[in-house]
Amino acid sequence: MKFSRPRLPHFIALLLGALSVSGFAPFYFYPATIISLAGLFYLWHRSHSANNAWWLGFSFGLGLFSFGIYWIYISLHDFGGMPAAMAIFATFCLSAFMALFPAATGWLARKLGSQYLAMPLIWVLLEWVRSWIFTGFPWLLGGYSQIPGSPLAGFAPVLGIHGVSLAVTISASILAWALYQRRNLPSLRRSALLLLTLWLAGGLLKLNTWSTPTGEPVTVALLQGNITQDLKWENNTLRQTLQQYLDMALQSRAQLIILPETAFPLLSSQIPQDYLQQLADHARDNGGDILIGTVEHQDNAYYNSMLSMGQSPEQAYRKTHLVPFGEFIPLKRAFGWIYENWLNIPLTDLARGGFQQKPMHIAGQQVAINICYEDVFGEEIIHQLPEATLLVNTSNDAWYGESLAAYQHLQIAQARSLETARMMLRSTNTGATAIIDTDGQLLAHAQHFTATTLEGTARGYVGMTPYVRWGNWPMLGFLFSALGLLWVRKKK
């Protein structure tokens, strides 16, 4: 297929967007995202108008999200029952909507002028907007591509994932400027010095210890049942599911046993009491507690919950940040017909738990629970800190089959460990079940799509990173101040 010269830059931008996906898990080739953005920034600088910059950004975003979140199709079609054509269209629409943010970045940078200064700032600001608008979808933020191995990951405990994104985009802007000034040796030297300084600062921050151990190590067992999503909610597999998790739990001698999100596909009130008693007695015999994922029905509302039982008093955590179109239907009058006619997804009318929930005191630790999608929102995780000494995430990424989704989700959890300087325990249905250290490194990682128990040891930690103390406010203050200065400069 031949491309006319005016269309070639847009095709290149599309390829650059697709290439940037290799910076994220499971590839972890972190330079790829920086190089891809540098290419886009160079194209933006060479664009002849703000409208042209818009379409270049849109092409990049379409490449990034079409290749990066293609797994939405799997959840809609393979497990949600949506017809293939409609699932493809819905996935494309989401990718196109997400591509509007890079498009707007290019347009605004051209309008603001000082493009190599403005592009990184606007990119990160709009990533932040993407993290909360319409309840937020902060997937594939540039900063995640640097977790955990890049020197730039050192900015996570200080400025959060948006701070890492800013370091990524500044690096890309420096590279793009160097390419533009490739015949100017003094300019190349200055660019190299700036890039080296930025990366050295990140590397030095990685050497800092932000938290200290507290208490004795805790033995943990993370149960991965590998219950296929198409059978999970079938009545004829319920007995088998309950027996499988009971057997796995009783075989463990760990002080903290954790089951995945909605491991029991029935209401908590419907779980046989003698079954729960066996789990609680076993946890007490181990000198610890067990966490189970189920659905609670309280006060005419349903909650996606984690319940604890064992030597500590029984406690509950109810999921707060729900998945739109998965756990609740926004604008139900407008979109309800889709579920009535095209989708078969259980639990689409859940209620939200409170935002002021405290860590659970179990197994001798203060444990901050977050369920599935909640660990995508770092500014919400820190609500339970610094009291929490340990993080626990329970998930069910079986909805996305054998795709990149579970690996990308794992990388996001690694970022939360870095931001908070806390260990993270992830118990999932089909993967990625893992034990993550305070520096975001994987200490143990279970094979995906196998029924297994991942056993290990966890430590509780105390202390506050700058991000836990201040959240996103320093980052936002810097972005708005810098963009304000550029606006004043343009006016003058």
Domains of the chain as residue ranges with CATH: 8-209+472-491 (no CATH), 212-464 (3.60.110.10)
The contacts found for 467-473 with CB under 8 angstroms, 24 or more apart, are 467/156, 467/157, 467/158, 467/159, 467/160, 467/163, 467/378, 467/382, 467/419, 467/420, 468/382, 468/385, 468/386, 468/419, 468/420, 468/421, 471/160, 471/379, 471/382, 472/128, 472/160, 472/162, 472/379
- Which ranges of 113-237 does DSSP label H, i.e. alpha helix? 115-130, 156-180, 185-206, 229-232
What one-character DSSP code corresponds to residue 267?
A: B
Give yes or no: 372 in active site: yes
Stretch 276-287: mean pLDDT: 97
Beta bridge partners of 317: 306
348: pLDDT confidence band, cut at 50, 70 and 90? low
Give the lowest-confidence range in 73-82, 239-248, 290-299, 402-411.
73-82
Give the lowest-confidence range in 41-50, 83-92, 227-236, 448-457.
227-236
Q: Tell me the per-residue pLDDT of 398-456, one tens digit each, with 9 for 90 and over.
A: 889 899 999 999 999 999 999 999 999 999 999 899 999 999 999 999 999 999 999 99
226: pLDDT confidence band, cut at 50, 70 and 90? very high
2: pLDDT confidence band, cut at 50, 70 and 90? very low
| pLDDT for the residue 409 | 97
With tokens 């596909």, the residue in question is 265
- Report whether 403 contacts 74 (CB < 8 A): yes
At residue 314, does pLDDT exceed 80? yes
User: Which one of 127, 232, 372, 374 is the catalytic residue?
Assistant: 372
What percent of the chain stands above pLDDT 90? Answer: 77
Stretch 374-382: mean pLDDT: 95
The rounded mean pLDDT for the chain is 92
At residue 333, does pLDDT exceed 60? no
Between CA 157 and CA 419 the distance in angstroms is 4
Give yes or no: 206 in active site: no
Beta-sheet strands, E only, within 179-332: 212-224, 256-258, 289-298, 301-310, 315-318
| pLDDT for the residue 115 | 82
At residue 354, does pLDDT exceed 80? yes
Between CA 134 and CA 60 the distance in angstroms is 22
Nearest to 470 by CA among 420, 422, 423, 415: 420
User: Which one of 127, 232, 261, 296 is the catalytic residue?
Assistant: 261
Structural tokens at position 370: 């977050």
Stretch 225-239: mean pLDDT: 79
**Total length of the chain:** 492
Stretch 356-375: mean pLDDT: 95
| pLDDT for the residue 3 | 41
| pLDDT for the residue 105 | 97
Beta bridge partners of 361: 366
- Report whether 360 contacts 334 (CB < 8 A): no
What is the full DSSP assignment across 32-81? HHHHHHHHHHHHHHH-SSHHHHHHHHHHHHHHHHHHHSTTHHIIIIIIT-
> Helix axis angle, 405-420 relative to 156-180, nearest 10°?
120
Q: What 3-state class would DSSP assign to 280?
A: helix
356: pLDDT confidence band, cut at 50, 70 and 90? confident
User: Which one of 127, 319, 327, 379 is the catalytic residue?
Assistant: 319
Stretch 214-220: mean pLDDT: 95
Stretch 70-91: mean pLDDT: 90
